[in-house]
């Protein structure tokens, strides 16, 4: 029977808004004074959830609240949830990058973490040196690292650049080497965040295969955060769904994914103005997201090749204008894979200044999608004021097959996009 290698009990993480550092001296003294009198920590009485769309009454926010779960040896646990749900914070606590405010974590074995591009690497050292550095951190001898060295370099595909400082690497090369090191230096627990999305599709597939191997063949434990639901279902034996810093579901992977997707559908029945699962400072807040046809009539159904207009209504709540603003729309398929991105910064220019409420319309002359169900993620950002507003799964789009090329022929393929093209014999 497999033993438990990770035990998380009543873990919560609190941050103070606008502050660098964990707490002030005054708070430390207050906590100590309450503790010696046997009273509850006064800063734990704040019951607000991590709802980033509204300004709370407190200067504190809970990134995690009362997380409880355990993972057995050899299991692959998928952690899924929207942006801001607390997934990355949880992994940082498990990786000992940061400490929980309350609760306890018991871990048996060495942990290798891949949380963001460059995790654990020294930029001025070469790829070779970083392999040996990471191995030493994991407690391996130089002989043990030598035995794995060629395998690591081959997996990462960076042999030509292995003696080049990693600060010269592209983000894709960085990730390939970082994953290869983390997966091959025999940690008992491997923790992987969304960072694999930086790599190309072939390498992502290679990484998923390696994680499956280290779990099934070597009996190692893997924690995997991803928005790619098919990848989670293929790889993970269990899954946990997080929302607003809480664990709202834990169990069979397929059931967990269904729970997450059903919860997403429920959110879509809530108007954009009332959505609370959003990030950003709220200086500019989207309150409407409407799909319009060529006659500027509202509809949620289109044919391939139709004109589609996306109207975004927003309100301005700032004291100072939001400058150099871009609106970004990600169009995703049913598996939450991003198909293409619409961004005013790419197609035209940044919006110089927003100082009042209004409407922005993005027009697609000919919708290049095959028949199917799609969705939109929305981000509003300012070069000066940072993230203003962000939501996932804002609106569902239904597309039926249409005569995109005007030939009366519709391709049999059911995935991808149409591309206008011509053929000439020369």
CA 196 to CA 260: how far, in whole Å? 21
Give the pLDDT of residue 51: 45
Q: Are 225 and 87 in contact, with CB atoms under 8 Å apart?
A: yes
The CATH architecture annotation of domain 71-263 reads 3-Layer(aba) Sandwich (3.40)
DSSP output for 338-383: EEEEEEHHHHS--EEEE-S-EEEEEEESS--BPSEEEEEEEEEEET
CA 313 to CA 286: how far, in whole Å? 6
Say if 71-263 and 272-400 have the same CATH topology. Answer: no
Over residues 141-193, the pLDDT tens digits come to 889 889 989 999 998 888 999 999 988 888 778 888 888 888 887 788 988 88
Q: Are 245 and 62 in contact, with CB atoms under 8 Å apart?
A: yes
H or E segment and range at residue 287:
strand 284-292
Give the pLDDT of residue 158: 87
Give the pLDDT of residue 38: 67
Sign of CA dihedral 51, 55, 58, 60: positive
Q: Where are the domains of the chain?
A: 71-263, 272-400
pLDDT of the chain, 426 residues: tens digit per residue: 468 999 999 999 887 655 444 456 666 677 677 677 766 566 554 444 444 434 444 456 788 889 999 999 999 999 998 766 888 889 889 988 888 988 999 999 888 887 766 567 888 999 999 999 888 877 788 898 899 899 999 988 889 999 999 888 887 788 888 888 888 877 889 888 876 665 667 777 888 888 888 888 888 899 998 877 888 888 898 999 988 788 989 999 999 988 887 776 666 667 889 888 788 889 999 999 999 999 999 988 899 999 999 999 999 998 899 999 999 999 988 767 788 999 998 888 899 999 999 999 999 999 999 888 898 999 999 988 888 999 888 988 989 888 888 888 877 666 678 888 778 787
Q: What are the distances in angstroms from CA 368 to CA 98, 306, 374, 401?
A: 45, 8, 12, 10
Q: 122: helix, coil or strand?
A: coil
Give the pLDDT of residue 164: 93
* Pairing of β 189-192 and β 111-114: parallel
Query: Strand pairing partners for 364?
Result: 308
Q: Are 120 and 113 in contact, with CB atoms under 8 Å apart?
A: yes
Which phi and psi (to 5°) does residue 54 adopt?
A: -125, 145
Which residues touch 190 (CB under 8 Å, ≥6 apart)?
111, 112, 114, 182, 183, 211, 214, 220, 221, 222, 223
Please tell me the pTM assigned to this model: 0.61
The residue behind tokens 């709220």 is 282
CA 332 to CA 263: how far, in whole Å? 17
Give the pLDDT of residue 172: 79
Task: Count the alpha carbons within 13 Å of 404 in the hemisphere toward its beta carbon.
Answer: 21
Q: Which fold has domain 272-400?
A: Coagulation Factor XIII; Chain A, domain 1 (2.70.50)
Which tokens hold the place of 176? 């390939």
Which tokens hold the place of 131? 């392999």
Distance of CA 406 to the CA centre of its chain: 39
Give the pLDDT of residue 187: 83
CA 139 to CA 187: how far, in whole Å? 10
Give the pLDDT of residue 292: 94
* Pairing of β 189-192 and β 221-225: parallel
């Amino acid at each position: 029977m497999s033993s438990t290698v990770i035990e998380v009990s009543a873990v919560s993480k609190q941050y103070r808004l606008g502050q660098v550092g964990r707490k002030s001296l005054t708070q430390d003294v207050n906590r100590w004074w309450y503790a010696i009198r046997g009273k509850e920590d006064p800063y734990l009485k704040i019951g607000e959830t991590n709802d980033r769309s509204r300004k709370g009454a407190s200067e504190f926010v809970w990134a995690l609240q009362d997380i409880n779960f355990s993972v057995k040896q050899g299991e692959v646990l998928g952690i899924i949830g929207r942006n801001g749900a607390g997934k990355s914070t949880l992994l940082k606590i498990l990786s000992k990058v940061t400490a929980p405010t309350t609760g306890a974590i018991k871990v048996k074995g060495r942990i290798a973490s891949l949380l963001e591009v460059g995790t654990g690497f020294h930029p001025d050292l070469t790829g070779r040196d970083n392999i040996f550095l990471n191995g030493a951190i994991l407690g391996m001898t130089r002989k043990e690292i030598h035995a794995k060295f060629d395998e690591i370099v081959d997996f990462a595909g960076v042999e030509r650049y292995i003696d080049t400082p990693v600060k010269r690497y592209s983000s894709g090369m960085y990730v390939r080497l970082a994953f290869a090191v983390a997966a091959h230096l025999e940690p008992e627990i491997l923790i992987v965040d969304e960072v694999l999305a930086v790599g190309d599709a072939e390498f992502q597939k290679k990484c998923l295969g390696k994680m499956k191997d280290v779990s099934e063949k070597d009996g190692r434990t893997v924690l995997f955060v991803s928005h790619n639901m098919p990848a989670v279902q293929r790889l993970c034996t269990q899954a946990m769904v997080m929302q607003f810093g809480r664990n709202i579901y834990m169990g069979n992977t397929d059931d967990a994914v269904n729970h997450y997707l059903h919860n997403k559908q429920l959110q879509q029945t809530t108007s954009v103005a009332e959505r609370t699962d959003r990030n950003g400072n709220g200086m500019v807040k989207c309150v409407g997201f409407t799909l319009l046809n060529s006659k500027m009539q509202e509809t949620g159904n289109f044919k391939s090749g139709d004109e589609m207009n996306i109207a975004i209504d927003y309100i301005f709540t700032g004291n100072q204008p939001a400058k150099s603003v871009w609106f970004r729309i990600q169009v995703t398929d049913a598996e939450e894979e991003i198909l293409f991105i619409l961004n005013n910064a790419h197609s035209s220019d940044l919006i110089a200044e927003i100082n009042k409420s209004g409407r922005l319309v993005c027009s697609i002359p000919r919708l290049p999608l095959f028949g199917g169900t799609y969705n939109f993620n929305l981000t509003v950002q300012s070069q000066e004021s940072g993230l203003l507003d962000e939501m996932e799964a804002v609106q569902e789009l239904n597309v039926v097959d249409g005569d995109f090329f005007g030939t009366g022929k519709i391709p049999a393929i059911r995935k991808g996009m149409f591309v206008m093209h011509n053929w000439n014999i020369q």
